[in-house]
């Protein structure tokens, strides 16, 4: 008969203390995802640029399980732009969840090509690993400033947020910025934030301004980020083009790091 000695018992107790319940020793907590905005795919010259972007994304976050895109996937709302960027994004090998931006419209009331290439990616919610991800359409056609979030989006929130788990950590992503005082913020952004704050909101990701703005509201980081485009520059003067690599932990902690293209990769764009 095997007898557990006092020394063996102490070793076993120490090992158990270092292994959180429900997780195998050595496993990383939570999961990673990518958040990016403002790709502005314009023509065939963008294809090699975005093939490289996707390859770098995979290198920066090899364990990422999904990708959030905060609008302006295309530069002019044309079907061929969406078809080409879709091919590039498929090489990520993970689900891509997007929302439209103002440049994803062909005309002020024509967003048919975006909706065909990314069906169901207007107002939507998805879950992974105990976290909730909410994509929200904040566009007003082609308008880029002085906008109002539509009554349809706010009504969708009212109808669907009550079905969500208010305790589950939640990430929202939009095209237009939500943080108070940010450039190009919709005039009724407070109405959307008020609805989101009824959930366990841990972070929001937005674009449109092409610059970095970080705020902390209640328990959430409200972030506007630089673009990741070949044909557009950042409005804050930064040369950095890239994306966020985020980690969502089981305890509701959301951390992120910015992964940037190398200067040579950005400077080598063919005009």
**Residue 269: its pLDDT value, please?**
55
CB atoms within 10 A of CB 29: 12
**Residue 7: its pLDDT value, please?**
46
Q: Is the domain 28-267 a CATH 3.60.21.10 member?
A: yes
**Residue 145: its pLDDT value, please?**
98
Question: Structure pTM?
Answer: 0.89
Residue 232, φ and ψ in degrees, nearest 5: -130, 155
Q: Mean pLDDT, 10 residues at a time, over the chain (271 residues)?
A: 42 34 52 98 97 98 98 98 98 98 98 98 98 98 98 98 97 98 98 98 98 96 98 97 98 98 75 47
**Residue 266: its pLDDT value, please?**
82
Tokens standing for residue 227:
């673009």
Helix (H, G, I), strand (E, B) or coil at 127: strand
**Residue 200: its pLDDT value, please?**
98
Beta pairing class for 124-128 and 169-173: unpaired
Tokens standing for residue 173:
């992503």
Cα-to-chain-centroid distance, residue 157: 18
**Residue 59: its pLDDT value, please?**
98
């Amino acid at each position: 008969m095997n007898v557990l000695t006092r020394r063996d018992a102490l070793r076993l107790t120490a090992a158990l203390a270092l292994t959180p319940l429900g997780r195998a020793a050595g496993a990383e907590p939570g999961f990673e995802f990518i958040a990016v905005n403002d790709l502005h795919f314009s023509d065939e010259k963008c294809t090699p640029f975005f093939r490289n972007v996707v390859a770098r994304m995979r290198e920066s976050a090899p364990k990422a399980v999904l990708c959030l895109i905060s609008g302006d996937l295309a530069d002019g709302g044309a079907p061929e732009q969406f078809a080409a960027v879709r091919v590039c994004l498929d090489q990520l090998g993970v689900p891509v969840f997007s929302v439209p931006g103002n440049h994803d419209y062909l005309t002020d009331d024509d967003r048919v090509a975006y909706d065909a290439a990314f069906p169901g990616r207007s107002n939507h919610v998805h879950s992974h690993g105990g976290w909730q991800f909410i994509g929200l359409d904040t566009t007003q056609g082609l308008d880029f400033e002085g906008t109002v979030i539509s009554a349809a989006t706010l009504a969708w929130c009212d109808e669907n947020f009550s079905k969500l788990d208010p305790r589950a950590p939640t990430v929202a992503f939009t095209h237009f910025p939500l943080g108070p005082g940010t450039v190009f913020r919709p005039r009724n952004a407070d109405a959307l934030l008020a609805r989101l704050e009824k959930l366990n909101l841990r972070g929001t990701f937005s674009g449109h301004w092409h610059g970095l703005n970080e705020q902390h509201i209640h328990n959430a980081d409200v972030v506007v980020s630089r673009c990741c485009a070949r044909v557009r520059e950042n409005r804050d003067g930064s040369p950095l083009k890239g994306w966020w690599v985020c980690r969502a932990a089981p305890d509701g902690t959301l951390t992120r790091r910015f992964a940037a293209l190398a200067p040579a990769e950005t400077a080598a764009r063919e005009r």
